[in-house]
A and B are shown apart, each in its own frame.
Chain A
Amino acid sequence: MTATFTPSGTTGLVHEEPVIFERSVPGRRGWLQPSSDIPAADDLDGALLRQAAPRLPELTEPDVVRHFHRLSQWNFSIDAGFYPLGSCTMKYNPRVNEDVAAMAGFTQLHPQQPADTVQGALQLMVELEDALAEIVGLDAVTLQPAAGAHGEYTGLACIRAAQVARGDARRKILVPESAHGTNPATAVICGYETVTLPAGPDGLLHPEVVAAAMDDQVAGLMITHPNTIGLYERHLPEICEIVHRGGGFVYGDGANLNALMGVARPGDVGIDVMHINLHKTFSTPHGGGGPGAGPVAVRTELEPFLPRPIIRRGELLALDWDRPLSIGKVRSFYGNFGVLVRAWTYIREIGGPGLEQATRLAVLNANYIRARLSTAFPVAFDVPCMHEVVLTDRAVKDHGVVTMDIAKRLIDKGFHPPTVYFPLVVPHAIMVEPTETECLQELDSFVAAMLEIAAEAAENPELLTGAPHHPVRGRLDEVAAAKKPRLRYEFL
C-alpha cells in the first residue's frame, strides 16, 4: 500500500498578519538608488509637482519578504494539493517552464527592439503557433489575446469583420445555455444580441435546435467543446454544416481542450475559429487570477482579419503590420510573451505523445471519479464523460445540506472545492475536473473525503453548514462585503 498525504485543511502555519499599511514605520526603506553623477533636474515648474506623497508603506526588504511570505501561507495552491475546479484544468505547473521563462534572453527583450534582434523570440512564437494549429486542426494562429475572454472577443471580431467585408453584417450570435458567462458577455461587447439555445435531454446541442434558430441575421454559433457538462458534442459536424450553409461561422470556446488533444480536433468537425487557454491546457500557472494567454486559431478564410502584426515567415522572421483587413490590435505589443514561453516549453517537452497521454488520462481520471461518486452524488447525465464530471447534491439535500456546504467541508478535508453552481443548466452543480497529473492515491483520498461528507450530511449536517472549521478564516460574509463595499485600506 502506497502511503498517502493526510490533509488537514489548514494551510501552513496559522498566523495573523496585518494589512501592510499597518506594518509601516516612517523612516524605513526597502530600496537604495544607484549613485549618479547627473545633477538633479532644475527645469520643472513647481505647480506641476505632486503635493502630497502617496501613502505607500515604509518597510525594509526583510519586512516586505516576511509579509508576503506569510500571506502566501494562507493560500491553497496546486502545489499544495488536489484542485479539482471544473473547466479550469488545474494541472501541475512544471518548474522547468519557469526557468525557461526567466532566461535573460527572453525577460530582457524590449518589445520595441528591431525584429532582427529578437529572432529567437519570434521563432519561439512561430513554433507555438504551428503546434497549436496542429493540435486544434486549424490553419493560422494569433498569440496576441491575453486570456480566454480576450480571445473570444478577438474571434468574434474576426467573424464580424469577415461578414462586414462581404457586405453581410449580421446581428445575432447563438449561444447554448450551458456556455461560460464570458460567451454571452463577449457577444454583447462585440455588438451582437444573443439567442440562447437549449440542450437536449442528453445534455447535448441538437442540429434541429440550431436549424430552427438559424437565419440570415445569425453571425454564428459560440460553442464550448466538449461542453461544460463534460460531454462531447457529437453532433458538431452536422451543426457546423447548418451554420455554414446559413452563412455563419462556428466559434469554439477552447476552455476544455484538455479533453481533446491527439484524440479529436475542433477544426476537423467544422469549428472555424477558437481560443485556447494556455493557462489551462498547456500548464502555465494561473497566478491566483492570471496572467493567462488566449491565442486564437482560425481557418484560412478568417486569417486576413487576425490582429496585427502577424509574424511573416522566411529566412528572417519579421513583424508584418501591413494588414489592411485586420481587426487591429486587441492589446499592446504581441501578447503575454512570458506565458507563451511557458506553453512552448511544455509542448516541446511533453511532445505529441505526451499531450495525447495527458488527454487520455484526464478522461480516465474523470470517469473514475464519476464511477466512484455517482451514487452518493448523482451525476447530472449518467453517461461516460470526458475530462470533467458534473455531480449534484440531490442525495444529501434532504438533510438541509447544499452544494456550497459540501464545497466548504471539502476545505476542512484538505481539498480545494470543485467549481460549484456551474453550469447553470444543472441545479446545484458540483463540477469536478481532476486532470491527468493527479495520481490514483490522490483521487482515492478525494473520493473518500466526499463519501465521508455524504455520511456527515446524514449524521451531523451542522459539520457541513458551519464549514470550513480548519483554515485561518471561517465562512466569509459576502453579503456584507457587497452591501457596504470596503475596497481599499482606510488610513486613520
Chain B
Amino acid sequence: MADRFHKYIPATAAEIEHMLDAVGYPTVDALLADVVPASQILGRPLDLPGPLSEVEILAAAAELAGRNQAAGLQACFLGAGAYRHQVPAAIHHMVSRGEFLTAYTPYQPEVSQGTLQGIFEFQTMVCELFGMEVANASVYDGASALAEAVFMAHRVARGKRPKAIIAGAVHPEYQEVCCTYGLAEIVKLQAQAPGADGRIDLAELEASLDEQVCCVAVQSPNFVGLIEDLPAIADIVHAAGALLVVAVTDPHACSLFESPGACGADIVVGEGQALGLPINMGGPYLGLFATRKKLVRQMPGRLVGRTHDTDGKPGFVLTLSTREQHIRREKATSNICTNQGLCALQSAMYMSLLGPDGLAAVAERSHAHALYLRRAVAALPGFELCFGGHFFHEFLVRTPVPASQLVDQLVGHGVFAGVPLSRYFPDRTHELLICATELNDRAQMDDLVRLLGVHTDSDGGAA
C-alpha cells in the first residue's frame, strides 16, 4: 500500500501496522486473502481516471457545467412536470448545515429531534396545502407517488377491485411509471382518453366505472394546464365505491384553486419540486403523499409522530413502522426505505418563508403571467389555443410549423419556448406546451411572442 492515502482516508502506515497487530495479520493483503478466495480477487487496478486534487476536480466539473446551456438563467418557458420558481437564498444555507445534510434516517430519535420535528412540520404543511388529514415524510417524486397511490387504493379495497382508471391528461411520465409498476399485473391499469375540451369526459368516466375499479387517478391542473372539475369527478367516483386519487405537479396551484381535499380526494399525491427546490435536470425532487386519517395504515412510506420522553417532555419519533419493509418484510405496504428527507425539509423551509400569502401570491402571479402570454400567443397568426377554459400556468398551442423546430430556433436566442408535445406523442408535431411563472417578466414574454412570430412568418401562417 502507498505510504500516504487520500485526504479522506486518515490511516497512516504506523497506524495500519498497529491495527494489523491487533487483528493478527501481517498485511492487509493477508487479511483479505483469508476472506476472499484467491480466484475471486480482482488482481488489477480499477480502470478509472484520477485521483485529482480539489483544484483539478473543480476545473473538470466547471468544464462539464460550462458545456450546458442553463435554461433557468435564461428566458425559460419549460414546465411539464418541473417548474421554475424563485428559491429564497436562505434555503440553501439552512439546508446545507451538516447537522441536516450528513445525518442518517432518524432511527435513533433522541439524537435526531431536529430532522424529526422538521419532518413533522413538513407533514403538517402538506396536509394544509392539500386539504388532507395525514401526509407522509415523502416518497421519491410525483410520478412514483402516483404509482404508490394506485397500489394503496388496491390494498384499501383488499384486492377485491383489481382495476384502476388513469385519466389520459395525467402527465405521460406519471402514467408510464404507473404502467411500469403495473408490470406485475397486481393492479390492471386502464387509461381514459381526455374529452374534446382537454379534460376528463364525465359521462364516459361514469360509464367505465364498476365494482372492479379501486380508484380513479386524475391530475389537476392536468398535463396541459387545465383545471379538472374535481367535485363532480369525486361524486361520480365515490358513487361507484372507488377512491379518488389526485396528482398535483405544482403545489402552488393548491393555494389559488380549491384544495383537492376540499374537492373530495381520498389520496393526494404531488411533485414538491416547485416548493423551494431547483429544477436540477430533473432531480432530486420530492414526492408528496397525503390521505385521510382512516386510511393511514395502508399508506406507504415513513411517518413522524408526536410523543413524549421518559420525563414527559414532548418529542418526535418515526411511527406506525409496522407498515414498513424493515419490520413487515414481504407484507409491507411498500418497499420504500430511503426517501427524499432533505428535500422535504427544504420545502418546509420554503413554505415557512413564503407563508400563506406568499404562496398564494406566487400562484396568482404565475397565473396572471401565463394568462397574459396565452392571450398574446393565441393572437399570433397561425397559432391557435388547443383548449380554452380555466387553467393555471401552462397551456397548449397549435403551432404553424413543427413545435420542435420552433424550440430549436429560439434556443439560439436564449429562449426556451416550451415543450413540444412530440416529445411524448411523436405524431403530435405541431403542439407546444408553454409555461409561465412569476419569474417570466413582461420583457421576456413579449420577446417570446415576437420570436414566435418572426420564426413562423416566412412559413406563411397556419399549417
Chain B min CB distance to A125 (Å): 9
A461: Cβ under 8 A from any B Cβ: no
Min C-beta distance of A92 to chain B, whole Å: 6
Pairwise interchain contact A189-B281, C-beta atoms closer than 8 A? no
B441: interface (CB < 8 Å):
yes
- In the complex, the answer to whether A147 meets B337 with C-beta atoms within 8 Å is yes
Within 8 A of B (CB), among A116-153: 117-121, 123-124, 131, 134-135, 146-150, 152-153
Which among B68-76, B233-241, B451-459 touches the partner chain?
A: B68-76
* Secondary structure class of chain A's binding surface, majority of residues: loop
A206 contacts B by Cβ under 8 Å: no
Residue-wise interface mask of A (375-412) relative to B, using a CB-CB cutoff of 8 A (1 in contact, 0 not): 00000000011100000000000000000000110010
With contacts A288-B103, A288-B105 taken as known, whether A54 is within 8 angstroms of B359 at the C-beta atoms is yes
**Is the beta-carbon distance between A74 and B356 smaller than 8 angstroms?**
no
Given the complex, which residues of B lie within 8 Å of A289, measured CB to CB? 104-106, 115, 119, 137, 302, 338-342
The verdict on B382 contacting chain A, using a C-beta distance below 8 Å, is no
* Residues of chain B lying within 8 A (CB to CB) of residue A264: 36, 40-42
**Any B CB within 8 A of the CB of A56:** yes
State whether A182 touches B337 (Cβ < 8 A): yes
Q: Which of A356-385 contact B (CB under 8 A)?
A: 356-358, 360-361, 363-365, 367-368, 370-372, 384-385
A147 touches B140 (CB 8 A): yes
Given A31-B88, A45-B390, A474-B110, 20 other A-B residues pairs in contact with their CB atoms under 8 A: A44-B367, A54-B129, A61-B353, A64-B90, A74-B113, A100-B61, A110-B76, A111-B281, A117-B69, A120-B68, A147-B339, A182-B325, A190-B183, A285-B101, A288-B345, A331-B144, A416-B108, A478-B319, A481-B305, A487-B306
Given A57-B352, A327-B180, are A188 and B330 neighbors across the interface (CB < 8 Å)?
Answer: yes
A391 to B108 CA separation, bound complex (whole angstroms):
19
Q: Are B283 and A194 in contact (CB under 8 A)?
A: no
B207 at the interface (CB under 8 A from A): no
Give chain B residues whose Cβ lies under 8 Å from the Cβ of A245: none
Is A72 within 8 A of B51, CB to CB?
A: no
Contact residues of B between 285 and 332, Cβ < 8 Å to A: 285, 296, 302-311, 313, 315-317, 319-322, 324-332
A157 CB–B CB distance under 8 Å: yes
Contact check, B284 vs A146: say whether CB atoms are below 8 A apart: yes
Decide: A190 and B279 in contact? CB cutoff 8 A.
Answer: no
Dominant secondary structure of chain B at its interface with chain A: helix
What are the 7 closest A-B residue pairs judged by CB atoms, nearest first?
A: A351-B50, A105-B65, A191-B184, A333-B282, A289-B341, A287-B342, A108-B72
What 0/1 readout, one digit per residue, does chain B (37-58) give for beta carbons within 8 Å of chain A?
1011110011111111010011
Docked-complex contact B352 and A237, CB < 8 angstroms: no
- Complex alpha-carbon distance, A111 and B179, angstroms: 21
Taking CB atoms, residues of chain B closer than 8 Å to A82 are: none
Q: Residues of B contacting A357 with CB < 8 Å?
A: 1-2, 5-6, 9
Q: Is B358's CB under 8 angstroms from A30's CB?
A: yes
CB distance from A295 to the nearest CB of B (A): 13
Q: Interface residue count for B (Cβ, 8 Å)?
A: 207
Residue A336 is within 8 A (CB to CB) of chain B in the complex = yes
Contact A40 B67 (CB under 8 A): no
Which A34-51 residues have a C-beta within 8 angstroms of B? 34, 36-41, 43-45, 48-51
A228 vs B105: C-alpha distance when bound (angstroms): 18
Given A345-B61, A349-B57, CB of A30 within 8 Å of CB of B50: no
- The answer to whether B383 has its CB under 8 Å from any CB of chain A is no
Q: Which of A112, A160, A372 contacts B183 (CB 8 A)?
A: A160
Stretch at the interface among B120-128, B158-166, B192-200: B120-128
Cβ contact within 8 Å between A345 and B341 = no
Name, among A36, A108, A416, the residue most crowded by chain B CB atoms within 10 Å (CB to CB). A108
Chain B's closest residue to A137 (CB) is B42
Q: How far is the CB of B82 from chain A (nearest CB, A)?
A: 5
Output the least CB separation between B183 and chain A (Å): 6
Which residues of B are found within 8 Å of A476, using beta-carbon distances?
109-110, 307-309, 315-317
Q: Assess the A339–B284 pair: CB atoms within 8 A.
A: yes
List, in ascending order, chain B residues with CB within 8 A of A367's CB: 19, 23, 31
With A45-B390, A61-B90, A114-B408 as contacts: A286 and B6 at CB distance below 8 Å:
no
Interface string of B119-155 (1 = CB under 8 A from A): 1110111011100011101101111100000010000
**Cβ-defined partner of B177 (8 Å) among A64, A99, A331:** A331
In the bound complex, do residue A59 and residue B5 qualify as a contact, i.e. CB atoms below 8 Å apart? no
**A153: chain B residues within 8 A (beta carbon):** 181, 335
CB distance from A163 to the nearest CB of B (A): 12
Segment at the B interface, from A210-218, A296-304, A436-444, A448-456: A436-444
- Interface-centre pick from B66, B338, B340 (highest chain A CB count, 10 A): B338
Q: Is B191 an interface residue (CB 8 A)?
A: no
| B269 sits at the interface (CB 8 A) | no
Interchain CA distance A285-B97 in the complex, whole Å: 11
A109 touching B281, Cβ below 8 Å? yes
Choose one: A182, A333, A337, A468; the contact of B110 (CB below 8 Å): A468
In the complex, chain A residues whose CB is within 8 Å of the CB of B144? 146, 150, 330-331
Is B248's beta carbon under 8 Å from chain A?
no
In the assembled complex, 6 residue pairs joining A and B whose CB atoms fall closer than 8 Å, in A order, are A33-B438, A110-B71, A111-B282, A182-B326, A285-B101, A286-B338
User: What are the residues of chain A within 8 A of B99 when measuring CB–CB?
Assistant: 11-12, 72-77, 79-80
Instruction: Report the bound CA distance from A100 to B59 in whole Å.
Output: 10
Is A5 engaged at the interface, CB distance under 8 Å to the other chain? no
B202 within 8 A of A: no
Bound-state Cα–Cα, A45 to B327, Å: 49
- In the assembled complex, how far is the CB of residue B120 from the closest CB belonging to chain A, in whole angstroms? 7
Asked whether A474 lies within 8 Å of B69 as measured between CB atoms, the reply is no
Contact of B185 among A94, A191, A348 (CB under 8 A): A191
Q: A440 and B341: CB pair below 8 A?
A: no
Least Cβ–Cβ distance between B159 and chain A, in angstroms: 13
CA A109 to CA B74, docked complex, whole Å: 10
Residue B442 at the chain A interface, CB threshold 8 Å: yes
Interface string of A449-492 (1 = CB under 8 A from B): 00000000000000000101001111111101110011111000
Contacts of A252 in B (CB 8 A): none
Q: Is B461 at the interface (CB under 8 A from chain A)?
A: no
Q: Does B463 count as interface, using CB distance less than 8 angstroms?
A: no
| Contact A181-B325, Cβ < 8 Å, known A337-B281, A351-B50 | yes
**Which residue of chain A is the closest to B109 with respect to CB atoms?**
A476
Which of B51, B84, B329, B390 interacts with A349 by CB under 8 Å?
B51
Is B210 interfacial (CB-CB < 8 Å)?
Answer: no
Using an 8 Å CB-CB cutoff, how does the interface string of A206-246 with B read, 1 for contact, 0 for none? 00000000000000000000000000101011000000000
Q: A420–B255 Cα gap in the complex (Å)? A: 43
Given the known interface contacts A185-B334, A417-B108, A488-B135, the answer about A329 and B9 at a Cβ–Cβ threshold of 8 Å is no
Instruction: Please state if A36 and B441 are interface contacts (CB–CB under 8 Å).
Output: yes
Contacts of A236 in B (CB 8 A): 40
Contact A353 B364, beta carbon cutoff 8 Å: no
A232–B349 alpha-carbon span in the complex (Å): 44
CB contacts under 8 Å to B, within A82-106, are: 83, 85, 88, 90-94, 96, 98-100, 102-106
Q: Decide yes or no whether B60 CB sits under 8 A from chain A.
A: yes
Is residue A325 within 8 Å, beta carbon to beta carbon, of the partner chain? no
CA distance in complex: A368, B73 (Å): 51
